[in-house]
Structure 1
Amino acid sequence: MEIETHECVPQFDAATHRAMPSGAWELETYTAADGSSRQRLRRDWAVEPIPPEEIAAAIIAARAAAIAANNSAAGRAREAYLTAVPGQATTYAAKQAETLRWIEAGRPADATAAAYPWASDRADLRSVSVAAVLAEWEAVTAAWEAAGRQIERERERVNEAIGAAGTLEAILAARDSAAYPIP
């Protein structure tokens, strides 16, 4: 004879309560729909409230995890626009400094290699003028600033929504609402 199992779990709100087995398995005999006598293993479950401090701790942990996940997603969005290798930020800063000096000087068409060594290196590689490289870097910087601001605004918006969310479901919904720009 095949013995089936039967778990008796009352309905409950998993956000505020949890089910726990209230006893051991018991062998019971019951009458099936066809009128035959059958046996099954039965276990009843009880429902108890989750202590508020456990709910609060779970929400705090979920917020922290969701914010970390969102910050990582923002980082991946930035990497779609930038070269993310050690030392590259220093290189970008040097190029930006040259570009700013060139802009402050009135964007001279006769920019010299001595005044703009980073741009000069790229100009030599591409067989273009130093001014052409600096103009390119100015355009790239403007495009990055627009995308970078969008990414940062979205990261902050999502983190604020996560921080304001009062339930695990709302935290997940806030995290999943992130829409970062794609190049």
Structure 2
Amino acid sequence: MSKEQCEIILSGVGGQGLISSGAILGEAASVYEDKFTTMTKTYGVSARGGFSKSDVLISDEFVSYFKALNPDVILILDNKAYPEVKDKISEETLVIINSNEVDNYNPDLGNVYSFPLSEMAFEIGSLLTLNIIALGFIAGKTNIISKEALKKVVKKKYPAEKAVELNMKAIEKGFSLV
């Protein structure tokens, strides 16, 4: 992506790691890529199972606003999220769909990539890697952050040996989808 600012919306339901994913993207961009970032989070009153969203803005210059107004990337991990974000999808928006959980969407709205992310996470060994697979794909597709930066932040955030092993597989899986 050659834009000077990239706006990303990560959406789904509570418990899918969307807030953590936003923080991971922001830290990878700011700490390891020397970029400016902002991140906001939105979630319903019921943390698990209710709508959840994280907006991440990454730029080479100071970011003066905190919400994704014209998102370049939208990740949708659950059916509950699509109605909440569909009005933000433009023709150029990269839309990543978790086909295991999202079946009610317009495939002609945006530049859609649909993957069985939940199934892939189970194959890796943990559903908890679902969001990390998605981050790997986003990083690989947009080049907004490097694989190395993403790996460093994920290792720092989830340092247990088994978590590192699973998450590194998830990052590689995400990059392989590009």
Which structure is higher in strand share? 2
Which is greater in Rg? Answer: 1
Same fold (TM over 0.5): no
Which structure is higher in helix share? 1
- Structure 1 length as normaliser, TM-score? 0.20
